[in-house]
Amino acid sequence: MWLFGWKLNVLSMGDEEARALGVNPEIFKFIFIVLATLVTAICVSSVGIIAWVGLMMPHAARLVQGPDNRFVIPTAALMGGVYIIFCDTIARTLTSEEIPIGIITAIAGAPYLVYLLRSKEKEIFG
């Protein structure tokens, strides 16, 4: 997906602009949906529920990096890795027992998810 980051930028301008720039929006929308679905399915099946971090970090990376997908994708990967390491460290050191990392990511991530839904409420629900 990172290799096609510039095409994501073109698609974000709309279908007519994408066609004018030589990108077939129908084909690339299908490709991006399939790739995103496959990546999400692979992550969730291999690491479990903490993979939802991968759904949260691109939004955080977009806030930090801006709208250019060539930079958002690698930034989101790095931020996700740092976030998981941070949560794992907290899970291992907070008590004498090891807390499951999914609990820590949920406690830290749920307020952020609520913030995203609240800030995008008018866009999503009209």
Structure tokens at 60: 């955080």
Structure tokens at 22: 């030589």
**pLDDT of 123 over the 70 cut:** no
Share of the chain above pLDDT 70, in %: 94
Please give the pLDDT value at position 125.
64
Mean pLDDT of the chain: 84
Instruction: Work out the number of other CB atoms within 10 angstroms of the CB of residue 98.
Output: 11
Please give the pLDDT value at position 124.
61
| Model pLDDT for residues 2-61, shown as the tens digit of each residue | 788 888 888 888 889 888 988 898 998 898 889 888 987 887 787 776 767 777 888 889
User: At the top level of CATH, which class does the domain 2-125 belong to?
Assistant: mainly alpha
**pLDDT of 117 over the 80 cut:** no
Please give the average per-residue pLDDT across 57-78, as a whole number: 89
Please give the pLDDT value at position 78.
94
**Residue labelled with tokens 């952020």:** 112
Q: How far apart are the C-alpha atoms of 92 and 79, rounded to whole Å?
A: 20
Q: What is the pTM of this model?
A: 0.63
Confirm if 29 and 36 have CB atoms less than 8 A apart: no
- CA-based nearest residue to 80, from 100, 42, 48, 54: 54
Please give the pLDDT value at position 76.
92
What is the DSSP code string of 97-115?
SPPPHHHHHHHHHHHHHHH
Please give the pLDDT value at position 85.
92
Q: How far apart are the C-alpha atoms of 124 and 79, rounded to whole Å?
A: 25
